[in-house]
Amino acid sequence: MFRKIFFTLFLVMTIAIYSESVNFKKGVEFQKNGNLKQAEKYYKMAVKENDLKAMYNLSLLYKSQGKDELAEKYFMMVMDSEETLVISSPGEILE
């Protein structure tokens, strides 16, 4: 019984992590290649899935474009979250 519950929880967690990170990963890929419009698009889709790393990267993207109000909006979303985001190198995009 325990093994069945554990496997089910593992499967649900894996699916949740995968589904939340696909758009984030695409956003990172586009940002690294300099395609900021596409990066923004995919980060926004990931934000709708409550992806904290996407919120953080989107705030950095907007800050680099001088869109300070938007940068602050997405950074505050990270700060207001009940989850924790560990940032080892502030100012660098998260992968």
Query: Per-residue pLDDT for 15 more than 50?
Result: no
CB of 23 within 8 A of CB of 45? Answer: yes
Please state, in angstroms and rounded to a whole number, the distance separating the CA atoms of residues 70 and 50.
Answer: 17
pLDDT of 23 reads: 94
Residue range 19-48, pLDDT digits in tens:
457 999 999 999 999 999 999 999 999 999
Q: What share of the chain is helix, strand, coil (3-state, %, to 5)?
A: 75, 0, 25
